[in-house]
Amino acid sequence: MTAHEKNRIDEKRIKELLQQALPPVGSVAEPARDLWPVVLRRLDSAPAGALRAKLPWFDWALIAGVVIFAVAFPATIPVFLYYL
């Protein structure tokens, strides 16, 4: 058996394995239903305060640390802005 024949056999085997692992996609690859109306309903039913994110104390401490560091070392402000 030559290397070329061995490669063809390997390619066929890989093709068979891929066809088994990945089922064929149908002609319509869209979701069964539209999810946007569900999202809108959930947003309308949520209380107004629930949409606002509440920050834990550690986040406030981290923000305060960054502000203090920026005041102490103003040259770092462009670096912080770059990573935002």
- The answer to whether residue 32 is domain-embedded is no
Residue 70 inside a domain? The answer is yes
Got the DSSP string for 25-60?
A: P-S--S-SS--HHHHHHHHHHS-GGGGSPPPPHHHH
Q: How many domains does the chain have?
A: 1
What is the percentage of the chain residues whose pLDDT exceeds 90?
26
Query: What pLDDT was estimated at residue 11?
Result: 92
Torsion, Cα of 50, 52, 54, 60 (10° steps): 180
Enclosing domain of residue 74: 55-84
**pLDDT recorded at residue 48:** 65
Q: What is the pLDDT of residue 27?
A: 61
Per residue in 38-79, pLDDT (tens digit) is 888 888 887 766 545 677 889 899 999 989 999 999 998 998
- Considering the domain boundaries, does residue 84 fall inside one? yes
Q: Does 29 map to a domain? A: no
Is 79 a domain residue? Answer: yes
